[in-house]
Amino acid sequence: MAEYVEAGHAVNQASLSGIVGSAPPVAQNVTYERILQARSEPQNWLTYYGAYDGQRYSPLDQINTENVKQLAPAWVFQSGSVGLHAGPSTYSFEAAPIVVDGVMYVAGWDGWVWALDARTGQELWRYKHAIPYDTSLCCGNVNRGVAVAKGKVFVVTLNAHVIALDAETGERVWDSTYGDVRAGESATLAPLVVKNLVIVGSSGGEFGVRGHLDAFDLDTGRHVWRTYTVPKPGEPGSETWPAEGKAWERGGGNCWVTGTYDPELNLMYWGTGNPSPDFDGGVREGDNLYTDSVIAVNPDNGEIRWHYQYNPHDLWDYDSTMENILFDLDGRKLLAHFNKNGYFFVLDRTNGELVRVAPFVDRITWGEIDANGKVTPEVYPKNEGEPVKFWPGPAGGKEWTHAAYSPRTQLFYVPVQDVGAEVTLRRREFRESIPYWGAAVVVDSEEMAGSVSAFDPSTGEEVWRWRNDLPMCASVLATGGDLVFAGEPTGEFNAFNDRTGELLWQFQTGSGHHSSPTTYSVDGRQYIAVPVGWGAWVEGFLPGMLGAPSGSALVVFALPES
C-alpha cells in the first residue's frame, strides 16, 4: 500500500474567505466613563440600547423628515447558514449592532460574532463558538448582540457561556460557564458592562430552571456575584411560593433581555421572565416573586433593592423581561415599561412606586389592571382539559423587541402586537431538561393586527398609531431627525414622522424583521443598520407567518453621497 498523501492540518474556515483578519484598535479606550456619556458621541452606538437609559434614541439628524425619501442601501453583509446547527429551522438575526469609531461588532445565531468595517461592510474578523446541536432552545437559535469595553467584545453563547474576545483579532481571551445546559439553561441576551463588570442573565424559563443574574470581572472573567430571581425557602420573597414542595426549584424568572442602568442611583433595572410552569398555577400558589417583575439591582453586589411585579401569579406566559426605559418627567426619575399583558407602566425608579398604568393594545381579555395597579385576572387556564381564549396571547401586546423614547418629542414609540391564543391546561410532571409549560397552546393565525404607536407618558394616552395588518415584532429606533424606524414581519423597513406617524419611506429587505436597528456615523455620513432574518419563536408570536422567507442579512442604509 502506498504512503498516504499528506493533507496537512485543518485551518480556520475564515482563512478561506476575503476576511481581513483584524480590526483597528478602536475598542481599546472604550471605558465605563465613555459608556456613561454614550449619547455625547452620537457617531457611535456604544452599548445595547445606545445608552444606559434604554431609550434607543440617537441625536443624529442628517437623515431627517425632509430627505429620508432618498435613503438607500449603502452596503449589505450576509453570512448565510452552512451545515447543521442547533434549531436549524428557527435561526433568526436579532442583534443590535454596536459601533465604535467606524468598526461594527455584531453577533449572529449559533455562536457567530463579526467585526465589520462600518463604512463598507467588509468583514474584518469573525469568531464562531461551537454550539451543541442538542442545546435546549425554547425560542429559536438567536443572540441579541455584544457589549464592547476595554479592548474586548463580550458575548454569551447558546450553551450558556460568557466569553471575551480580543476586539482587534476576535480571539478568545476568557470563557466562563454560567448555566447548565443539562438543566435546560441557555443564553441569548447582549451582556451589559457596568463599571468593571460584565453582567448577564440566563434563558430557560420554559424548562423549569431557576433564573439568575451573574456578574464577571471584565478583565479576567472571574465570577463576582450571582443573584437568583426565585428565592430559596427563608429568603425574602419565599413567602410568595408554596411553603411545601419543589415549586421554587423550578420557578423560572429568567432575565433574558438586557437591563438598563441609572449611574446616579447605582441601580440596574432588569426584567424577569415567566414563572414555570408557564400556565399551570396550581403547582405554584402565591405571587411567585420575583417572576414577571422589574428588579432594581445594585451592580456592585447583586442585591435586589426593590421590585415591582407586573404579573403576580402569571398564568398567561407574560414574561416581563422587556426593557425598562429610564426617563425624567417633571423632575421625577421614572421608568417606563410596556408589558406583554398589554399595559404600559410608569414607575418611580428610585423606589418602584407606581405612577401610572394604562393599556396600549386594543384587545385585553385576560383580566384588568386598575389605576392603582390592582390586578384582576378574568380569563386563564383553570380546569384540566378546558380550553380558554385570551388576548394578548403568550407573545404579548409587545414582545421582547424594544420601544424607543425621544427626548425631543417626549413620546414613547412602541411595536404593538394584537394576537390572541387558545390555551388548554394540561398538567405534567416536571422532568429536568424537558419543556415544562403545563398546557397545550395554539396562537391565532388569523384576525391579527399590529401597529407602531406613540404614547405620552405624562397621560398614558396614545398620540398616534400607524396600523398594520400584521403584528409589529421588531424594535423601534428614534432619531434626532424626527424619525422613527421600524421593520415589518413581511420585510419592509419603515421610517415614520415621529410627531404624526406618517409613513415617509419604506424599503423591502427580503425577510422579516425581529431585531434592533441602530444608527451611527462615519466621516460625517449617517447610517441606519438593521439585521434582517425572520425566524425564532414564530410559532409563538406570529404563527401566521411561519412560512415566510428566512434570511440572514445586515442591511445598512445612508443618503446618497453627493
Partner 1 sequence: MATATEDLSAMVREIGLDRQNKATLGRLLAHGPLRRAEEGPDGRMRARVRIPPDELIWDPSILVLPHAGDLDVELVNDDENTHCALLPSNGDEQFIWLPNHSRGTASLNLDGPGYYWFSSPIGNDEGRGLIGAIVVLGDVPKGARLDRPPQPQP
Site string for partner 1, 30-69 (x = CB under 8 A): ----------------------------------------
- Report in angstroms how near the CB of residue 208 gets to partner 1 at its nearest: 8
Q: Could you say whether residue 128 binds partner 1 (CB under 8 A)?
A: yes
Cell matching residue 531: 439585521
Measured distance CA(518)–CA(463) in Å, rounded: 24
Is 7 one of the binding residues for partner 1 (CB under 8 A)?
yes
Q: Which stretch binds partner 1 (CB under 8 A): 68-76, 91-99, 204-212, 338-346?
A: 204-212
Residue 86 Cβ vs partner 1, minimum distance, rounded to whole Å: 9
Q: Measured between alpha carbons, how far is 265 from 350 in angstroms, rounded to an integer?
A: 7
6 counts as binding partner 1 under rule CB under 8 A? yes
β-bridge pairing 325-329 and 197-201: unpaired
Q: Exactly one of 171, 235, 239, 384 binds partner 1 (CB under 8 A); which one?
A: 171
CA distance to 190, 254, 264, per residue, from 228 (Å): 19, 9, 25
Check: CB of residue 137 under 8 Å from CB of residue 536.
Answer: no
Which range, of 4-12, 35-43, 70-78, 320-328, touches partner 1 by CB under 8 A? 4-12
Site residues (CB under 8 A) for partner 1, limited to 333-362 = none
Q: Does 135 bind partner 1 (CB under 8 A)?
A: yes
Rounded to a whole number of angstroms, the minimum distance from the CB of residue 272 to partner 1 is 16
Binding flag, residue 9, partner 1 (CB under 8 A): yes
Q: How many CA atoms lie within 13 A of 420 on its CB side?
A: 15
Check residue 83 for interaction with partner 1 (CB under 8 A).
yes
Distance CA 70, CA 58 (A): 20
Catalytic, 348? Answer no
Asked if 160 touches partner 1 (CB under 8 A), the answer is: yes
Identify whether the C-beta of residue 213 lies closer than 8 Å to the C-beta of residue 201.
Answer: yes
Residues in 206-265 that interact with partner 1 by CB under 8 A:
209-210, 212, 223, 228, 232, 246, 249-250
Please give the backbone phi and psi of residue 508, each rounded to the nearest 5 degrees, phi first: -85, 115
Distance of CA 415 to the CA centre of its chain: 13
Among 27, 149, 164, 181, binds partner 1 (CB under 8 A): 181
Q: Which helix (H) or strand (E) holds 34?
A: helix 32-36
Q: Give the chain's end-to-end CA distance (angstroms, integer).
A: 68
Our finding on whether 133 is near partner 1 (CB under 8 A) is yes
Rounded least distance, CB 373 to partner 1, Å? 31
Q: Which amino acid is at 435?
A: P
**Closer to partner 1 at the Cβ: 304 or 404?**
304
The residue (of 12 and 89) whose beta carbon lies closer to partner 1 is 12
Residues numbered 412-471 forming contacts with partner 1, rule: CB under 8 A: 429-434
**Residue whose C-alpha is closest to residue 501's, from 482, 517, 488:** 482
Secondary structure of residue 72 in the 3-state scheme: strand
How many residues contact partner 1, by CB under 8 A? Answer: 56
- Examine residue 392 and say whether the peptide bond preceding it is cis (omega within 30 degrees of 0): yes
Annotated catalytic residue: which of 110, 214, 317, 319? 317
User: Residue 417 forms beta bridges with which residues?
Assistant: 450
Q: Which SS3 state, helix, strand or coil, does residue 539 take? A: helix
Indicate which residues carry an active-site annotation. Answer: 317
Query: Where on the chain is the footprint of partner 1 (CB under 8 A)?
Result: 2, 4-14, 16, 82-84, 126-135, 159-161, 171-172, 175-183, 185, 209-210, 212, 223, 228, 232, 246, 249-250, 429-434
